Amino acid sequence: MRLTDGGIARQGHSPAPWLPGSLFPRLPGSLAPWFPGSLAPWFPVSLAPWFPVSLIPWFPGSLALWLPGSLVPWLPGSLVPGSPVLGRISLVSFLIRPADNGDVSGVVDVIHAVFDEYSFTWEEDGYHADLYDLEAHYSAKGHTFFVAEKDGHIIGTIALERFETLPGIAGELGLVDGFLRVLGCDCSLERMYVHPDSRRCGAGGALIQKVVSTAKSEGRRGMELWSDKRFGDAHRLYGRFGAKVVGDRVCHDPDQSPEWGLMIDLVE
């Protein structure tokens, strides 16, 4: 084996030894060999323990990923591995699952922390009433509220709401029951928040991936989402999943916040 300029191990002539009777080489500069069944993952559909300079550096939902250009693997065991964000490496393992009323306290803690961060108004009996009875506002109406959980603590939230296709030209804005909506959509992404202390671990991307993949698996065609214009990082993250800005409006929250309307085409 040898080291390339990018720090990636490749098979070839090298003083790094091969283990006797094994096809698994030692890592350069490491005392730890590769073993079958090791915690260090194999790249899917590859006979080589390294997949140098992968053209697909991140498979959402994969159980075994290499972070290209790094000696640090994504460890298996996470149901939803994080993605490398802004060059920071995270080995955080967390679970994405549907929520119920037993999760109300954790859900409120996450979203309240974000509202405090931006000095937004909290309205328990109004704009945030759905968070205090998740089953009545979501599952009982055919929607799903998901949480990201790490070490038994909720660190992120998101919801998928389902409805009949909003009539009109897809991607245009129009009034529906008195609210400005993205026409042509048959589902929406709601309540996407990650606790300020748990960001940059891939939770946000995993939550969005869960909602988008669920909607696609159900044959949904267009996803509507609205997001406060101050949430720049979230907008860039939505863009990775194909979200495009189609307009704007003033939210019906207590602060009358300006927000972007976005649409994800689920059949592209």
Q: Residue 150 sits in a domain of what CATH number? A: 3.40.630.30
pLDDT in tens, 17-48: 444 444 444 444 444 444 444 444 443 434 33
Same domain, 49 and 165: no
Determine the structural domain holding residue 125 and report its residue range: 95-265
Instruction: Give the residue from 229, 124, 246 showing the smallest Cα distance to 185.
Output: 246
pLDDT in tens, 7-19: 333 334 443 444 4
Nearest CA to 80 among 241, 209, 227? 209
Reported as half-sphere exposure (CB side, CA atoms, 13 A), residue 179 has a value of: 10
The residue to which tokens 């550096």 are assigned: 57
Confidence (pTM):
0.68
The answer to whether residue 232 is domain-embedded is: yes
Within 10 angstroms of residue 232's Cβ, the number of other Cβ atoms is 10
Residues 61 and 143 placed together within one structural domain of the fold: no
What b/e string do you get for 101-136 counting C-beta neighbours within 10 Å, with b at 16 or more? eebbebbbebbbebbeeeebeeeeeebbebbeebee
H or E stretch covering 154: strand 153-162
Do 101 and 201 reside in the same domain of the chain?
yes
- Which letter does DSSP use for residue 85 in this model? B
pLDDT-based confidence at residue 141 (cuts at 50, 70, 90): very high
| pLDDT at residue 171 greater than cutoff 60 | yes
12 and 55 in a single domain? The answer is yes
User: Do residue 191 and residue 220 come from a single domain?
Assistant: yes
- Render pLDDT for 85-96 as a digit per residue (tens, 0 to 9): 333 435 568 899
Lowest-confidence range among 26-35, 151-160, 197-206, 221-230?
Answer: 26-35
Statement to judge: residues 129 and 185 lie in one domain: yes
Q: Is residue 110 domain-shared with residue 16, that is, in the same domain?
A: no
242 pLDDT higher than 80: yes
For residue 133, pLDDT over 70 is answered with yes
Establish if 90 belongs to a structural domain. Answer: no
pLDDT digits (tens, 9 = 90+) for 111-121: 999 999 999 99
Binning pLDDT at 50, 70 and 90, where does residue 194 land? very high
Provide the pLDDT for residue 112: 98
Helix %, strand %, coil % of the chain (to 5): 20, 25, 50
Rounded to whole angstroms, the Cα distance separating 169 from 185 reads 10
Q: What is the pLDDT of residue 92?
A: 63
Closest CA to 247 of 229, 234, 260, 232: 260
Q: Please indicate, yes or no, whether residues 254 and 140 belong to a single structural domain of this protein.
A: yes
174 pLDDT more than 90 = yes
Regarding whether 123 and 251 lie in a shared domain, the answer is yes
Within this chain, do residues 9 and 133 fall inside the same structural domain, yes or no?
no
From 77, 104, 136, the end of a domain falls on: 77
